[in-house]
Amino acid sequence: MAREPITPEQGRRYWLKTSRLMWTVLAAWAFLSILLPMLASSLNAIPFLGLRFGYYMAAQGSLVGFVVIIFWYARRQNSIDEEFHVDED
């Protein structure tokens, strides 16, 4: 079944929404990989699983966060593709 061609307006709105998702993900990424290690000294005051929280986040917590974010992103972006009918034929 042939599909409607993509209009420039549709393309523009698609890219806007895609960019917004990109910035959201990058903000979460920067929080886990830059902000938390910078605050590690203060966070270490909190004990966690026999470790200190600052150490725990860099060793394991942020990694779990990355995995969750990346699967969430893949689902979210795929549904944006469908919403704007720009998913693959």
Partner 1 sequence: MLRGDFNQSMGRVFVIYTGGCAACASLLIALSLLGVPDRAIGIGFVALTVGFYAVMGLLSRTTQLGDYYVAGRHVPALYNGMATAADTLSAASFIGMAGAIYAAGFDGLAFVLGWTGGFILVAVLLAPYLRKFGQYTVPDFLACRYGGNAARLMGIVVLLSASFAYVVGQIYGTGIIASRYLGVDFSLAVFVGLAGILLCSLLGGMRALIWTQVAQCVIVLIAYILPAVLLSTKATGIPLPQLVYGEAMQRVAELQSHLGVAADALAPTDAVDRVNFIGLTLCLMLGIASMPHLLSRFFTTPSVREARLSVAWTLLFIFLLFSTAPAYAAFAKLEVYQHVLGQPLAALPAWVNEWSRAGMLTVSGGGGPLRPADFALDPDAVVLAAPEIAGLPFFVAGLVAAGALAAALSSADGLLLSIANAVSHDVYYRMLAPKAGPRQRLLVARTVMVVVAGLAAWVASTRPAGILTVVGWGFSLAASGLFSALVLGVWWKRATKAGAVLGMVAGWSVCLGYILATQTHAIEPLWGVRNIAAGIFGIPVSMLATVLASLLTPAPSQDMQDFIDSIRMPRGHVRLAAGAPAEE
Site residues, partner 1 (CB under 8 A): 3, 6, 11, 14-15, 18-19, 21-22, 25-26, 29, 32-34, 37-38, 40-41, 44, 49-52, 54-55, 58-60, 62-64, 66-67, 69-71, 73-74, 77-78, 81, 85-89
Report the C-alpha gap between 86 and 24 in whole angstroms: 21
Q: How far is the CB of 1 from partner 1 (least distance, A)?
A: 14
Measured CA to CA, the distance from residue 70 to residue 67 in angstroms comes to: 5
Q: Min. distance of Cβ 79 from partner 1 in angstroms?
A: 11
How far, in Å, CA of 75 to CA of 46, rounded? 34
